[in-house]
Amino acid sequence: MKTEVGQPGLVIPEKDNERVRFEGLTDEDLAQCVHCGLCLNACPTYRETGLEMESPRGRIYLVKAAKEERIPINETFLQHIFLCLDCRACETACPSGVQYGKIIEAARGEAIKAQPGGRLPRFLRWLVFKQIFPFPGRLRLFANLLRFYQNSGVQGLVRKSGLLKLFGGFGQAETLLPKLSSEFFAAPEAEVVPARGETKRRVGFVTGCIMPYFFGETNRATVSVLTRNGCEVVIPKSQRCCGALGVHAGARETAQELARRNIAAFEPYGLDVIISNAAGCGTALKEYEVLLENDPEYAERAVAFSEKVKDISEFLVDIEVDTSFGAMDKRVTYQDACHLAHGQRVRSQPRELLQSIPGLEFVEMKNSDHCCGSAGVYNIVQADMAQRVVAPKVQNIENTEADYVVVGNPGCMLQMDNALAASGVSTRSIHTMELLEQAYQAAESNGHADSDA
C-alpha cells in the first residue's frame, strides 16, 4: 500500500496485473486537473464527509490510478465512484475546465464491466437498463401495472402493513413513487402538433421515458407553450429513452444504442431545434457527440444532433418568448437543477421567464444551485447520502416562504416534494413550463371575463 503524493489520507493499493481500459477517456482528460482544490467545497459528498476520496479531486486520482493499472477495479473503487452524484458542480468551480462528467461516467462504465459486487446488483442493472428502459412497450406495461397498484388500494394496504421495511432499498424506492399522471402523454398519430397561428419554427420534442407517465401534465404544458410561440412540434414515435440513466449507472453500451435510435428517429424531419424539458435528459442529448465519438457511422451524426438540442427555457429566451401572460398572485423561488446549471450552463433563462409573468413574486433561495440529492436513481441507491444532501435544501426553500419552488427537472421535483412533505413544509414543486402555461391560461380567462362584462 502507498499514499499518493499530495493527497493526505488517499491510500492507493499496489498495482494490479489486470488490464484496464476506459472508453473515450484520455490521459489528457485526467491531466487537466491541477489539484487546486477549488472543487472541494462545490462537491456535495465532500461537504458532507470531509473525505478526500469523496471529492472530485480524490476520485480523479482513483481513476488515474486505475487507468494506469496501479489499483484494481473492485468493490471499493465502485463505492467511491458511485457515491458521486455526478452533479457537475465541480465543473462550474473548476478554473482548468476539467470535464469531470466525462471522467466519472467513463469510470462507471469501466466499473460495471468489471462486475464487482453481488449478483443482486448485477441482476437489477440488467433488468432496469437492458430489459425495461430501452423498450417503450415494457415501460408502458410497467406504468399500467403501477397505476393499478396505486388506484386499487393495494398501495395503501402495503404501506400500512409495514411490509416495505422488509425490502430495504426496494421499500425506500416505493415510498418515493409519485402519483402517476391522470392521463399519460402520447404522441399524436400524425407525430406533428401544428403551431397556433403562423408557423415560425419546426422543432422536435424529446418526451423522455418516465415523463409521459409520471409527468404527463408537464409534457402537455411544454407542447402547448411551444405551439403558442409559433412552433410546429414534431414528436417521433420511434424515439427512445435518452440514455441518461444508463450513462450515470455505467451502462454505456445500452446508452449508446439508445442514442443511435434517437438520432435516427429525429434526423428525417429537418428540424430547427430539438427540445428537452428535463435537465438530465438535455445534458445527455447534448453529449451524444461524446458518447458516440468512436462510432464510425454515428460520430458525425451525433455532433449534428447535439448541436440542435436546447433546453426549453433556453430556447424560449432565444426566440423572445410571447409574454402575453395573465397575472399570477403567487410567490415562487427557483431551484437550479444540477444538469441545467452545471451541465448545460443554463441559469438566467428560467429566471427571465419567471420574472416576465405579471404579479408573480420571485425570491432567490440560498444556494439554489446546490444539489438536491435526486441525481437519477441516486436517492434510491444512495438513500442515506441523498437525505443528507437534501436537508439544507428544504430549509432554504422554507426560508423563502414561497408557494412554489420552480424546477426544470422531474427528478428534482420528486426528491424535493418528498423531502418537503416529510418536513411539514407546504411549498411544492412545479415545472417551469407548467407555470408558464398557467400564466397563458390566466390571460385567456381574464380575456373571457372582460368580454363577458
Overall average pLDDT of the 377-399 stretch: 89
Helices 75-83, 56-67: inter-axial angle, 10-degree rounding: 140
What pLDDT score does 7 carry?
40
Closest among 363, 341, 256 to 302, alpha carbons compared: 256
Rounded CA separation 30/103 (Å): 8
What pLDDT score does 172 carry?
67
Domain boundaries, the chain: 2-114, 192-318, 331-452
Beta pairing, strands 404-407 & 428-431: parallel
The top-level CATH class assigned to 331-452 is: alpha beta
**pLDDT tier at 246, thresholds 50, 70, 90:** confident
Structural contact between residues 282 and 339, judged by C-beta atoms closer than 8 angstroms: yes
Beta strands in 166-311 (DSSP E): 192-193, 201-205, 231-234, 273-276, 309-311
Rounded CA separation 103/56 (Å): 10
What pLDDT score does 39 carry?
94
Q: Is the dihedral of CA 62, 64, 66, 70 positive or negative?
A: negative
**pLDDT tier at 2, thresholds 50, 70, 90:** very low
> Which contacts of 182-190 are long-range, i.e. CB under 8 A and separated by 24 or more positions?
182/216, 183/216, 184/140, 184/143, 184/212, 184/213, 184/216, 185/211, 185/212, 185/213, 185/215, 185/216, 185/219, 185/220, 186/212, 187/235, 187/236, 187/237, 188/235
What pLDDT score does 153 carry?
82
- Which residue has 428537452 as its cell numbers? 276
Residues 6+ apart with CB under 8 A from 40: 46, 55, 56, 57
The answer to which of 231-240, 316-325, 375-384 has the lowest mean pLDDT is 375-384
- Render pLDDT for 11-52 as a digit per residue (tens, 0 to 9): 434 444 444 478 778 889 999 999 999 999 999 999 999 999
Architecture of the structural domain at 192-318: Up-down Bundle (1.20)
- Render pLDDT for 189-207 as a digit per residue (tens, 0 to 9): 899 999 998 999 999 999 9
Rounded CA separation 16/20 (Å): 10
Grid coordinates belonging to 215:
409527468
- Which residue has 423561488 as its cell numbers? 333
What pLDDT score does 144 carry?
84
What pLDDT score does 253 carry?
87
Structural contact between residues 24 and 295, judged by C-beta atoms closer than 8 angstroms: no
Rounded CA separation 108/234 (Å): 34
Q: Which CATH number fits domain 2-114: 3.10.350.10, 3.40.50.620, 1.10.1060.10, 1.10.579.10?
A: 1.10.1060.10
Structural contact between residues 271 and 234, judged by C-beta atoms closer than 8 angstroms: yes
Overall average pLDDT of the 407-430 stretch: 92
Overall average pLDDT of the 382-404 stretch: 93
What pLDDT score does 13 carry?
40
DSSP bridge pairs for 274 = 204, 309
**Mean pLDDT, the chain, integer:** 87
Q: What is the DSSP string of 92-133?
A: HH-TT---HHHHHHHHHHHHHHH--S-HHHHHHHHIIIIIIT
Rounded CA separation 144/357 (Å): 37
- Render pLDDT for 330-347 as a digit per residue (tens, 0 to 9): 999 999 999 999 999 999
> Is 245 a residue whose pLDDT tops 70?
yes
Question: Which DSSP category does 222 fall into?
Answer: H
What pLDDT score does 433 carry?
97
Beta strands in 281-391 (DSSP E): 309-311, 331-334, 361-362
- Render pLDDT for 272-297 as a digit per residue (tens, 0 to 9): 999 999 999 999 999 999 999 999 99
What predicted TM-score, i.e. pTM, was given to this entire model? 0.87
Share of the chain above pLDDT 90, in %: 61
Alpha helix positions (H), 319-409: 338-341, 348-355, 378-381, 383-400
